[in-house]
Structure 1
Amino acid sequence: MKLTKRSIDSLPLPETGQVLYWDDELPGYGLRVTKGAKTFIVQRRVAGKSVRVTLGQYGPLTPNQARKLAVKNLSELVQGVNINAEKEAAKVRGVTLNEAFAAYLDNRRLSPRTVASYQETMKLAFADWGTLPVSTINRTMIERRFTALSAPRSPRTDKDDIPVEGGTPQKPRLATANRHFRILRAVLNFAMEKYSTADGEPLIPSNPVTRLSVLRKWHRIERRTRHLEPHQLKAWFAALEHKPEDSDHRNTVRDFCAFVLLTGCREQEAARLTWKDVNLDAAKVTLQETKNHRTHVLPVGPWLAELLERRQQNRISQFVFPAENQSGHLLNHRKAILAIGADSGVEFRLHDLRRTFASIASVHLERSLSAYTLKRLLNHSSGGDVTGGYVQVGIEDLREPMRQIEDFVLKCAGLRESAPVVKLAVAPAHQGVSLDAAR
């Protein structure tokens, strides 16, 4: 039959499956009928394979319009053009940076904090590139944007957008630029493997961010090594004493700082600690959602156990260190940290406390720790260390080192019989831990 409005309207809808009807006048032109729709199609063999192309649904597309489309598409099929492959290739060529980034996040096992951080990078550094096809992002764009993001921020301005004099000079944003482009490089590397052209070649032949490596544009950033010296611990611990006139938040931050120093754990791992992961009877804590995705169980010393017991008696939340925010746990505590630094005369960041823990564990214990025990304390990955996979360090193997670390810290703080005050040395190279103590 010829596919006309009358003939199409008379065709019944099947209860299940589909029925194909072919036009008598134009070979290869047909109609696919299902329970929910009638759709125009063309079908022909291309390079030995049957290729079926959907033209559109009956209703929005009239029989006359469909017939004209069918003639055009059949002509291309006769010439050996795989229209479906071409459509897919065109779709791939149009993949935008935003789409590639969304696919990257779906494909990767990232913590919520990391996802939020990556999203912030895309918003701050590459928002105007989001709707661009990834194939159009070139090396010149990369180099220019990297240079722009590395420069100091614009001077502070008033409400009339006039620069304000006497403001704090802005520093170049070298580490920030590096970080933004490492994230972009990861997204584009992913896109290179995920998206291919019609002939199977990568949509992006090479990652344009490699321009920064070839031209040696990456900024060299000195690793932070700041940590608390033993002679600073007395004043620092004095500043951790709770003050009745201070808010619960500020006193919580004080306990939080002591916890991070005496466990050496990462800031966010400590912040997310819940009471169900604190076992005071066994004197241990369990840190979930760690950087290397491995549950980290640590024994705690007597002094820290008492601090946790005191907090548990006054608990108001599932979190050990609660806060009044959407997450329910400590997140924004910069002002409280600055206040502790001002009270003690010891300027510090939270990650400095992890470096302090690592230094004490490396240098000041009665008995030298093996590199594997130190890595276990810090929950560092063994990486490519094959031997490390055979050396198993259990929680009880960590209890005595943790007790000694706490003992040394409290002696330096004047909370126990004093210990000799000496300057911390950098961890010996053979123990495989730097003061940077990778986050």
Structure 2
Amino acid sequence: MTKLTAQYVRDLPFSLSGQTLITDDALPGFGIRVGAASKSYFAESRVKGRTRRVTIGRVDTLTLAEARRLAMKALSEMADGKDRNAELRRERAKLMTLGQAIDGWLGERRLRASTSATYRSTMSREFGDWSDMELRRITPKLFQARFAQIMDRTPAGAALAVRTFKSCWNWARADITDCDGLAILAECPADIIKAKKLMPKAKRKQTFVSDWATFFEALDGLEINSNRHHGAGEKFKVFVEILARTGMRMGEASNLKWADVDMASKTFTITADRAKNGEALTLPMSDQTYALLAGLHGRSGRDVYIWGATPYGDPRKTLRAFRLALGWPINFHDLRRSFATIATDLDLQQSKIIRLLNHASGGNVTLGYQVSKNPETLRKSVQDISDFIDHKKSA
């Protein structure tokens, strides 16, 4: 302990690393905290059996005499059981807005840029007018009214809005706690939707290709003439067939690079940054997939992506033309669903289907032990799926 004087405080050097606490022997509980770039006065005492330290102010904004006077007041309050830090936390909880919560939530989570943008877009679209509203003012009744408005427009969007809002709110509730780590914010107001059983039931799509002969007839006969995008039709045909024969997601296939393709070993890798579950996966090619990639390599082998200098774009016009020729509104994800359906019809092991689709095993302990990453164990499976497609194609 040292008797603090104005001269002593002024001459104190900054800390080289971390913080240094120096207490005043003239006023127990009063002291100065020295950091690498600043010095601040503090008051420290016990409140209800717990040590509490309160910042009084920076040295460059308070005189020593002013700091002592404020410290005496703070120490007196703590002696009466008043916890200033807890009050500050409660005040922060009262003042945090939904917009601040969104920024904090997305700022701390390690998400892909596209995922973060999707979350932010959902919050902006459904709750944008609440951005400056304090969280404490968003009541269950208010949330239910907004939920009803979204439901009238899009039930699926309402379910997404609830999930996204809950994630944001729960982050804020965990972030704003008292000195004992207990939540200050109330339970999420979106919980009223579950409590009242208002959440729309998710309807998983069941669409998949059942008539491969008609599918390839429409695909092979597709004619797209574009002066702006030379070869758009042929590239689309290859893209669609690769999706069908590999089960890849659209984003995985459209961003596939030649660096991720090994033509010698007939394998390709979905990198961790593109995989939905964040885990890289190397898969074997069927003979049919190899032929498709060999054709692409002859045209774009010197480019970064298998499609050329850039990833494969969004072929909306070509997709519309294909739907018209096919006679039903097919989506790219229907091809992944078709791949999985064929794998099931062929009675492939569940663990192999999960690996082929690069799905997370979740809480399945048994699947957690089946950690083989050897793509050769899947080669016969992908070949059987491609052969099945060809058999149905010519049937």
> TM-score w.r.t. structure 2 length?
0.82
Cα distance, 1:260 vs structure 2: 0.7
Letter in 1 for 2:6: I
Cα distance, 1:145 vs structure 2: 1.0
Higher helix share: 2
CA-to-aligned-CA distance 1:201-256 (integer Å, 9 cap, x gap): 32234232221112121112432112222242232321457768571473433322
Indicate whether 1:350 and 2:332 are aligned: yes
Q: Secondary structure at the match of 1:126?
A: helix
Residues 245 and 386, structure 2, Cα contact 8 Å, conserved in 1? yes
Q: Which moved more, 1:82-91 or 1:287-296?
A: 82-91
Q: Identify the residue that residue 280 of structure 2 maps to in structure 1.
A: 295
Residues 96 and 135, structure 2, Cα contact 8 Å, conserved in 1? yes
Q: Which moved more, 1:115-124 or 1:57-66?
A: 57-66
Q: Identify the residue that residue 216 of structure 2 maps to in structure 1.
A: 234
Cα distance, 1:70 vs structure 2: 4.1
Residues 242 and 254, structure 1, Cα contact 8 Å, conserved in 2? no
Q: Identify the residue that residue 247 of structure 2 maps to in structure 1.
A: 264
- Counterparts in 2 of 1:80-159, with a 5 A limit? 80-152=81-153
Residues 92 and 176, structure 2, Cα contact 8 Å, conserved in 1? no
Indicate whether 1:361 and 2:343 are aligned: yes
Structure 2 distance, partners of 1:56, 1:292, is 47
- Counterparts in 2 of 1:30-429, with a 5 A limit? 39-47=40-48, 51-61=52-62, 66=67, 69-152=70-153, 173-230=154-211, 231-239=213-221, 247-248=229-230, 250-251=232-233, 252-289=235-272, 290-315=275-300, 317-322=303-308, 328-363=310-345, 365=346, 368-391=347-370, 394-413=374-393, 418-419=394-395
Residues 262 and 406, structure 1, Cα contact 8 Å, conserved in 2? yes
CA-to-aligned-CA distance 1:322-361 (integer Å, 9 cap, x gap): 57xxxx4235332231122234444311111112222223
Structure 2 distance, partners of 1:47, 1:390, is 50
Residues 249 and 336, structure 2, Cα contact 8 Å, conserved in 1? yes
Residues 23 and 29, structure 2, Cα contact 8 Å, conserved in 1? no
Change in Cα spacing, 1:199 to 1:137, as seen in structure 2 (3 Å) is farther
Structure 2 distance, partners of 1:35, 1:188, is 35
Q: Secondary structure at the match of 1:54?
A: strand
Residues 19 and 34, structure 1, Cα contact 8 Å, conserved in 2? no
Structure 1 distance, partners of 2:133, 2:30, is 37
Q: Identify the residue that residue 431 of structure 1 maps to in structure 2.
A: none
Residues 14 and 37, structure 2, Cα contact 8 Å, conserved in 1? no
Change in Cα spacing, 1:46 to 1:411, as seen in structure 2 (3 Å) is closer
Structure 1 distance, partners of 2:385, 2:127, is 45
Letter in 2 for 1:228: V
Structure 1 distance, partners of 2:339, 2:21, is 72
CA-to-aligned-CA distance 1:247-273 (integer Å, 9 cap, x gap): 147343332211111111111121221
Structure 2 distance, partners of 1:381, 1:123, is 29
Identity %, equivalent residues: 29
Change in Cα spacing, 1:67 to 1:304, as seen in structure 2 (3 Å) is same
Cα distance, 1:392 vs structure 2: 5.7
Change in Cα spacing, 1:146 to 1:36, as seen in structure 2 (3 Å) is closer
Q: How many pairs does the alignment contain?
A: 384
Residues 264 and 357, structure 1, Cα contact 8 Å, conserved in 2? yes
Residues 241 and 254, structure 1, Cα contact 8 Å, conserved in 2? no
Letter in 1 for 2:314: N
Structure 2 distance, partners of 1:2, 1:108, is 46
Q: Which moved more, 1:368-377 or 1:175-184?
A: 368-377
Residues 178 and 218, structure 1, Cα contact 8 Å, conserved in 2? yes
CA-to-aligned-CA distance 1:135-176 (integer Å, 9 cap, x gap): 433211210111111223xxxxxxxxxxxxxxxxxxxx1111
Residues 14 and 38, structure 2, Cα contact 8 Å, conserved in 1? no
Cα distance, 1:395 vs structure 2: 2.3
Q: Secondary structure at the match of 1:314?
A: helix
Structure 2 distance, partners of 1:344, 1:35, is 69
Structure 2: stretches of 5+ with no match in the other structure = none
Structure 2 distance, partners of 1:37, 1:358, is 61
Structure 2 distance, partners of 1:147, 1:220, is 15
Cα distance, 1:36 vs structure 2: 5.9
> TM-score w.r.t. structure 1 length?
0.75
Structure 1: stretches of 5+ with no match in the other structure = 153-172, 420-439
Q: Secondary structure at the match of 2:55?
A: strand
Residues 209 and 338, structure 2, Cα contact 8 Å, conserved in 1? yes
Which one of the candidate residues 6, 9, 16 is aligned to 1:8? 6
Letter in 1 for 2:172: A
